[in-house]
């Protein structure tokens, strides 16, 4: 919105005082009816952010419980052979249920990774029962939604509340109920990632990272895992990025690393070599003179850790043919950009979340601070060209 009349704005529209500009001579009829004009307005998503934090923290509680006692029967394989667990389903049901409860009078649209298709197959009754039990136990332990026990049907309906296709119009929640399911199953890092799109743009993001230490993981990731764990990152457009403990400590503002010399930068990449070409990122790191070995972590925890400066670069270079989904990057990208970082594809374009479930983009996702981006982008381009010419 470029010019708007303040009197027409609904109460949820919060206009930052510094953005209000008075125009001395209104030119159009609409403008004449307004006493004050603004050159730019910023929506406040405070209510939505509070609801998203609450929903993600609730889902994290369910996931933590399951991860402690994960049974072989809790893990299933989807059509693309990727794993899904009772916690992925339970987390999605909880977030979907909580958001619908928080905003009962608003249209609800959720683009989420899971659906109940596999749960309608033969032999899944026990799994459904277990998911429903987990959801009910978590809601009861929280107490704030004042619900009587949900049935299996309620839970399946909540999971399928996430079937929206998203797009460039209106508002859509975007959820990865467990990002890094492979890490979750291994007992490692994972995140509950929830974002809100408004007119195709990510306007808020929350990352619950139950296994991420509150202290920096720079340098010695393995040993730092003995520190207190459980972080909640959150960001709202124009309002910065904050981190608090999942146990509810006061939030602290975070900033990406200020490192300018690539030799001093450390970089994150996927733990899974099938998700990102480790050999290519190693070529890029060599070109830059990066000395530290790569820090390999599952999920959008990488975005969270980067937003607080634990590392300065995140390289995601999927193998040919892979299509990135919006729920794998929506929350993480705003957490990093609001902390002062940049997130682009390997051609330097910003990520476009307005095209539905998939990110329509040039291969690769590159994340770093403003200072390092030009040299990093150069190294990425050169390495991609060398790889292409060697084939």
Interface with Mg ion includes 298 (CB under 5 A)? Answer: no
**CA terminus-to-terminus distance, the chain:** 47
Partner touching 304 among ligand A3P, Mg ion, none, CB below 5 to 8 Å by kind = none
Hey, which residues between 324 and 353 contact Mg ion (CB under 5 A)? 328
Among candidate residues 85, 127, 138, 181, the one labeled active-site is 181
Whether 181 sits among the annotated catalytic residues: the reply is: yes
Instruction: Please report, as residue ranges, which positions from 113 to 132 form the binding site for Mg ion (by CB under 5 A).
Output: 113
Q: Which stretch binds Mg ion (CB under 5 A): 235-243, 306-314, 321-329, 359-367?
A: 321-329
Q: Output b/e per residue, 354-368; b: 16+ Cβ within 10 A.
A: bebbebebebbbbbb
- Of 173 and 271, nearer to ligand A3P (C-beta) is 271
Q: In the annotation, is 129 catalytic?
A: no
Least separation in angstroms between residue 378's CB and Mg ion is: 29
Nearest residue to Mg ion on Cβ basis = 179
Neighbouring CB atoms inside 10 A of 353's CB total 25
Interface residue with Mg ion among 48, 160, 179, 298 (CB under 5 A) is 179
DSSP conformational letter for 214: S
Task: State how far the Cα of 344 lies from the Cα of 325, in Å rounded to an integer.
Answer: 15
Q: Which residues of 135-146 are buried (b: 16+ CB within 10 A; e: fewer)?
A: bbebbeeeeeee
Q: Could you give the residue ranges of the DSSP H alpha helices within the chain?
A: 29-32, 46-68, 86-102, 125-142, 152-160, 181-186, 221-224, 278-288, 301-307, 330-337, 373-390
Q: Where are the alpha helices (DSSP H) in 162-312?
A: 181-186, 221-224, 278-288, 301-307
Least separation in angstroms between residue 236's CB and ligand A3P is 23
Of the candidates 74, 85, 88, 344, the residue annotated as catalytic is: 88
> Which residues 75-94 are close enough to bind Mg ion by CB under 5 A?
82
Q: How far is the CB of 378 from ligand A3P (least distance, A)?
A: 24
The nearer residue to Mg ion, 53 or 302, going by C-beta atoms, is: 302
State the residues that interact with ligand A3P by CB under 6 A. 82, 113, 176, 178-181, 270-272, 274-275, 298-299, 318-319, 322, 325, 328
> Catalytic site residues?
88, 181
């Amino acid at each position: 919105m470029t010019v708007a009349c303040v009197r027409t704005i609904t109460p949820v529209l919060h206009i930052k005082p510094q953005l209000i500009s008075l125009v001395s001579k209104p030119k159009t009829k609409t403008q004449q009816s307004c006493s004050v004009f603004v050159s730019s307005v910023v929506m406040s998503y405070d209510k939505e952010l509070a609801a998203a934090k609450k929903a993600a923290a609730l889902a994290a509680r369910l996931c933590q419980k399951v991860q402690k006692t994960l049974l072989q029967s809790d893990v299933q394989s989807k059509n693309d052979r990727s794993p899904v667990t009772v916690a992925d389903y339970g987390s999605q049901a909880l977030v979907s249920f909580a958001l619908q409860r928080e905003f009962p009078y608003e249209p609800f649209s959720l683009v989420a990774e899971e659906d109940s298709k596999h749960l309608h197959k033969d032999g899944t009754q026990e799994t459904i029962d277990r998911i429903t039990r987990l959801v009910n136990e978590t809601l009861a332990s929280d107490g704030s939604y004042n619900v009587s026990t949900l049935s299996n049907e309620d839970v399946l309906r909540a999971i399928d509340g996430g079937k929206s296709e998203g797009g460039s119009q209106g508002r859509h929640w975007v959820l990865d109920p467990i990002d890094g399911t492979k890490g979750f199953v291994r007992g490692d890092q994972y995140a509950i990632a929830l974002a809100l799109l408004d007119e195709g743009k990510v306007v808020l993001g929350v990352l619950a990272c139950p296994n991420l230490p509150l202290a920096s993981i720079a340098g010695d990731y393995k040993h730092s895992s003995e520190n207190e764990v459980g972080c909640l990152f959150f960001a709202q457009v124009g309002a910065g990025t904050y981190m608090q403990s999942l146990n509810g400590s006061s939030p602290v503002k975070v900033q990406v690393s200020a490192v300018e010399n690539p030799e001093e930068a450390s970089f994150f990449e996927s733990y899974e070599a099938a998700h990102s070409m480790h050999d290519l990122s190693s070529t890029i790191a060599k070109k830059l003179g990066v000395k530290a070995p790569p820090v390999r972590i599952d999920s959008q925890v990488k975005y969270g850790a980067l937003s607080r400066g634990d590392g300065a670069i995140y390289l995601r270079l999927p193998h040919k043919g892979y299509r990135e989904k919006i729920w794998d990057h929506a929350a993480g990208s705003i957490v990093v950009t609001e902390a002062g970082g940049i997130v682009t594809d390997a051609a330097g374009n910003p990520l476009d979340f307005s095209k539905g479930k998939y990110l329509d983009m040039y291969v690769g996702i590159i994340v770093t601070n403003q200072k390092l981006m030009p040299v990093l982008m150069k190294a990425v381009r050169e390495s991609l060209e060398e790889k292409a010419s060697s084939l």
